[in-house]
Amino acid sequence: MLNSMRPILLLCMVVIVAAGCSNKKAETASTSAAPSIPAPPDVAAAPADAQRTPTGLVSKVLKAGTGTRHPRPNSQVVVHYTGWTTDGKMFDSSVARGEPATMSLDGVIAGWTEGVQMMVVGEKRRFWIPAGLAYEGKDGPQGTLVFDIELIRIES
């Protein structure tokens, strides 16, 4: 009986593999279709007038906000962001995708959790996040990361 089922099993495996490959191609196509946003000129190092926290997080306000309320460590926020490595390679961007991202600050890297709490609605900041507050030892881009983050809304 197993010999008679072998062609069917083989066909099922081919279909499953083909479906997985076509999904990967679609994911890659949609990711590569997003435009790359050029890195800011100060991506390699923060300017002297940037704010520094005791943890090593560095930031500079690019646009003042209009709100007065700051997110909490577990707040859900809506943001637009772009991230680069210090050699100027963009690795992620809600701006390039054309859609803001909604996330909980207790589910992101420590540099985001700390940094976004410093912001008010409408504010845009550039953050230089040291590896220890980013993905050091985990999956993700390594080393210091630079993010432009605009806080659009605090949902909770």
Please report the DSSP string for 8-43 in residue order: HHHHHHHHHHHHHHHHHHHHHHHHHHSPPPPPPTTT
CA dihedral (87, 88, 92, 93) in degrees, to 10, reads 160
**Domain interval for residue 139:** 51-154
The catalytic position among 16, 42, 91, 106 is 91
Asked whether residue 3 is assigned to any structural domain, the reply reads yes
User: Do 85 and 130 lie in a common domain?
Assistant: yes
92 catalytic per annotation: yes
What pLDDT does residue 110 have? 98
**Whole-prediction pTM value?**
0.79
Q: Is the domain of 135 the same as that of 62?
A: yes
Same domain, 55 and 24: no
Is 16 a catalytic site residue?
Answer: no
Q: What is the pLDDT of residue 33?
A: 57
**Mean pLDDT of successive 10-residue segments in the chain (156 residues)?**
41 36 36 78 97 98 95 98 98 97 98 98 98 96 98 96
Same domain, 65 and 120: yes
Q: Is 81 a catalytic residue?
A: yes
Check if 147 is active-site.
yes
Question: Does residue 38 lie within any of the structural domains?
Answer: no
Residues 27 and 61 in one domain: no
Asked if residue 41 belongs to a domain, the reply is no
- Judge whether 127 counts as a catalytic residue: no
Total number of domains constituting the chain: 2
Q: Which of 92, 148, 149, 152 is catalytic?
A: 92
Instruction: Provide the β-strand partners of residue 80.
Output: 150
pLDDT value of position 57:
98
Catalytic residue among 8, 16, 42, 109: 109
* Domain match, 61 and 28 both: no
Question: Are residues 55 and 29 part of one domain?
Answer: no
Among 127, 147, 149, 152, the active-site one is 147
Instruction: Name residue 24's amino acid.
Output: K
On whether both 149 and 103 belong to a single domain, the answer is: yes
Quote the pLDDT of residue 109. Answer: 98
Question: How much is the pLDDT for 67?
Answer: 86
CATH number at residue 73: 3.10.50.40
